[in-house]
């Protein structure tokens, strides 16, 4: 039975709603961005590019500044290797760890100590129906996302990474216990897709059930990143107040 009228977790602090994507190739550049944005943003994503450049030291530096980290390495390997990789990350104090794998990989990640940290990647926001068809999927993006999210929640994952376009389906079907982290965020005034295909604006993402939104290039390219962050937070706050 569908559960209607459910909202994202309202206990999350406003400065933790936006996760700034540090998709950068140098630790010093990443540190400069953290210092520039930390008066507004207290949650940062470290992906494959920055992690290869800075490793755990950049992750631990961000956490020592009093912020949270989403370690977005999208682990995908045999279950034993995924479990070992998760255990390697636990000492760093990261809040979220992404796994882009099947049920066995997710189960291994959860059992390795990641029950309160693992986010299952559902379908990348850079993929649309044509991409999924070319990859051999006969279902729609929505059906794929819901199926993967249902299994992730049953396995014990903290939540999922999913487009805001699918967030209402997930929130209605799976209730408030699932943490939904939404990439592919663009301000209403920004029409640049970059490599994203399923995008959504900040306020709409929260209204439709997202707990956190991941933003990178729109902030990095803004003339005044702090001002844009403030505008996006206002949109988030407005969306939460009217839930």
Q: Which two tokens stand for residue 59?
A: 């992750």
For 167-195, give the DSSP string: HHHHHHHH-TTSEEEE--B--TT----TT
Can you tell me the distance from the alpha carbon of 141 to that of 133, in angstroms, rounded to the nearest whole number? Answer: 10
First to last CA, the chain: 21
Phi-psi region of 230 (alpha: psi -120 to 50; beta: other; left: phi over 0): alpha
Which H/E stretch holds residue 97?
Answer: strand 96-99
DSSP 111: I
For residue 240, the tally of other CB atoms under 10 A from its CB is: 17
The SS3 call for residue 74 is strand
Q: Which residue has the tokens 């977790």?
A: 9
Options 64, 74, 107, 117, the catalytic residue: 74
Read off the tokens for 157: 């994952």
CB 126 within 8 A of CB 196: yes
Catalytic residue status for 74: yes
Q: What is residue 146's three-state secondary structure?
A: helix
- Active-site amino acid positions: 74
């Amino acid at each position: 039975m569908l559960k209607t009228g459910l909202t994202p977790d309202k206990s999350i602090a406003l400065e933790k709603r936006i996760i700034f994507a540090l998709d950068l190739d140098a630790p010093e550049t990443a540190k400069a961005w953290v210092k520039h944005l930390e008066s507004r943003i207290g949650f940062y994503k470290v992906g494959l590019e920055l992690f290869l450049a800075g490793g755990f030291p950049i992750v631990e530096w961000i956490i020592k500044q009093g912020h949270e980290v989403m370690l977005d390495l999208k682990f995908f390997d045999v279950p034993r290797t995924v479990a070992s990789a998760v255990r390697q990350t636990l000492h760093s104090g990261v809040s979220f760890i992404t796994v882009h794998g099947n049920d066995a990989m997710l189960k291994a990640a959860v059992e390795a100590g990641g029950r309160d940290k693992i986010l299952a990647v559902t379908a990348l926001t850079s993929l649309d129906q044509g991409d999924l068809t070319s990859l051999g999927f006969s279902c729609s993006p929505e059906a794929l996302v819901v199926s993967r999210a249902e299994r992730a929640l049953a396995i014990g994952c903290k939540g999922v990474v999913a487009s805001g376009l699918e967030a209402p389906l997930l929130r209605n079907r799976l209730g408030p216990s699932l943490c939904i982290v939404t990439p592919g965020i663009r301000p209403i005034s920004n029409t640049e897709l970059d490599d994203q295909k399923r995008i959504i604006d900040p306020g709409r993402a929260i209204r439709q059930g997202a707990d956190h939104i991941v933003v990178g290039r729109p902030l990095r390219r803004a003339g005044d990143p702090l001002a844009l962050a403030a505008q996006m937070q206002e949109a988030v706050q407005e969306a939460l107040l009217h839930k």
